[in-house]
Structure 1
Amino acid sequence: MGFHHFGADSAPTLLLVHGADTTWERSFSRAIPLLSRHFHVVAYGMSGFDSTEDTTFRNARAEAERIIGFIDSELDGMLTCLYAHSLGCQTATYVAHHERVLTTILDGAVYANTGSFTPAMARLEEPLARFLASDTLRKIASFTGLPVLSGGVSDAIYLGASRQSYRNTAWSNLAWSADLHTLEPRPQARVHLWWGERERRAVRPTQRLMTRIFPSLQSKEFRGFSHGDLCARHPELLTQEITVVARSHTESGPQDQSAQVDHSPGR
């Protein structure tokens, strides 16, 4: 199935793209009821990570091609807003580069060029996912009280994907990191880069490279947040932030490029 619809068809369309080793339900189930008050929400299930399909995740480019095909065939070639988290930011980068989206929001686009370590990372991806979903991690989180481990990480992990799907996420990280150096600039693309304060160092390389590709890039840091906090723990704030950004660009029209880079912290 891949594309899961919520809210009124007549509302502006918002496409949600989840991150690695999880699903659209586990990522967006709390936010969708709120977002669907303002948007026709389409939650995209990555190939290999959607229980309604028998597919394999190959790479972010392949997922982008699938989304672009959906936009062209189902949305008359234009999407109001695309929000992507973590690994989903890779796919969203390619979609935004094709200029099929009025507004693109990349949340937690961590630069993950693992270079020569990629084969090892690929082999470890599935065991790591199983560890993150295990009772062992829950016990560690309970014992240590570490916020990164106790923030619902275990509940977000999906273990129904094939071994190849897990491994391919690591190779997709490498390919996307390399493409950030070579993609041609798209001055008219409206792209917002968001990150949590605690993941700043991991996202800053992405910001530098994204600014070359998307010269009108607007950035925002959410004070006190870690990777995935906005998406997983704060559905009300996520809804508010997406709505403000989407509406501002919808009202100003697709050709306006007056937005300035904003480095102010979030709430």
Structure 2
Amino acid sequence: MKYYKFGSTKNPTVFLIHGTGSHWQLSFGNVIKELTDEYHIICVAMDGHDESDPTEMISISDETHKLEGYIQKEYNGKIYGIYGSSIGGSIVGKLLERENICIDYAITGSTDFDQMAKFPAMIFCKLIIPMAYKFAKTGKISKPFAPFVKFKKIDRYLNELHDKIYNKITYETLYTEFYTDLITPIALDIIPRKTQIYCIYGTEENERKLVKRYQQHFPNSQIIGIVGLNHEELLFKEPTEWAHMIKTLLKHEDYEYYGGTKKIQKS
């Protein structure tokens, strides 16, 4: 795991964790400048997701422990904010569950918190990862999924999504990332004493499932749906607006997306 730092250390520290099969620069390269006027930004590069680090990922739990240890050592166990994109939000969730560090503001972006037993998770990954790996390497969709991407909106979204995928990722790391995320449980009713939690999603995702999960795991969180957008689409399609959202939430202020927002308070 590597850490890339930007901005003045005199500003509040905010960590950014990239998503599944992505890369810190592909995920956050367009928003760093927007944030460093107010925050000290640290982009986390997970194992197996950085060309300067040949380490393969061991597990999502291992990534969580490494990040937790780093924050304890370098920041005395206390940071102002953290954002986890997609699977990065799983790490945020585990940090909140463990409560070994203090976080003022924690934000997850389109994290699904899916969980499976080991055997069905293995079967699922054996089926899905070859297709996901092909998409990461070539941007092409395997035949079983082809009928679902004939709609222009979905096709365009996938093309934009592929631009954020780290195409040097190995099959082993991609498999490990998916599999260990699925089999790593996260507790229900996580209510850290001093953390404001925001769960962000796009209303074009499986909205009903996501909202239910967020309410189960983080009953005191504020859940914000970005109307008309898909999985992390605000981040990679509208980086300036995404940065505005993050700044607004980190000030504990109300965020309104120009296309509409759906806000769900405490469950």
- TM superposition score category, shorter chain reference: 0.7 to 0.9
1:196 paired to 2:202: yes
1:105 paired to 2:107: yes
Give identity over the alignment, percent: 17
Q: Distance in 2 between matches of 1:111 and 1:64?
A: 15
Aligned amino acid, residue 157 of structure 1: I
Q: Distance in 2 between matches of 1:64 and 1:86?
A: 14
Which whole-Å deviations, capped at 9, do the CAs of 1:49-70 have from their partners, x for residues lacking one?
Answer: 1212121212222111111112
Which position in structure 1 is the counterpart of 2:120? 117
Q: Distance in 2 between matches of 1:21 and 1:91?
A: 14
Which whole-Å deviations, capped at 9, do the CAs of 1:98-136 have from their partners, x for residues lacking one?
Answer: 242111001101132354432133233254232254253
Among 208, 215, 223, the alignment partner of 2:215 is: 208
Rate the CA distance shift 1:184–1:201 in 2: closer, same or farther, 3 A. closer
Which position in structure 2 is the counterpart of 1:255? none
Rate the CA distance shift 1:57–1:201 in 2: closer, same or farther, 3 A. farther
Which position in structure 2 is the counterpart of 1:89? 89
Contact 2:21–2:174 (8 Å) recurs in 1: yes
Contact 1:18–1:85 (8 Å) recurs in 2: yes
Aligned amino acid, residue 154 of structure 1: H
Among 234, 237, 258, the alignment partner of 2:241 is: 237
RMSD: 2.6
Of 128-137 and 163-172, the range deviating more from structure 2? 128-137
Contact 2:102–2:194 (8 Å) recurs in 1: no
Rate the CA distance shift 1:248–1:130 in 2: closer, same or farther, 3 A. same
Rate the CA distance shift 1:132–1:105 in 2: closer, same or farther, 3 A. same
Rate the CA distance shift 1:190–1:129 in 2: closer, same or farther, 3 A. same
Which position in structure 2 is the counterpart of 1:172? 180
Aligned amino acid, residue 153 of structure 2: P
Which position in structure 2 is the counterpart of 1:162? 170
Contact 1:20–1:169 (8 Å) recurs in 2: yes
Structure 2 spans left out of the alignment, 5+ residues: 254-261
Structure 1 spans left out of the alignment, 5+ residues: 250-260
What does residue range 243-258 of structure 1 map to in structure 2 within 5 Å?
Answer: 243-248=247-252
Contact 1:80–1:102 (8 Å) recurs in 2: yes
Rate the CA distance shift 1:135–1:237 in 2: closer, same or farther, 3 A. closer
TM-score (norm 1): 0.82
Q: Distance in 1 between matches of 2:197 and 2:166?
A: 29
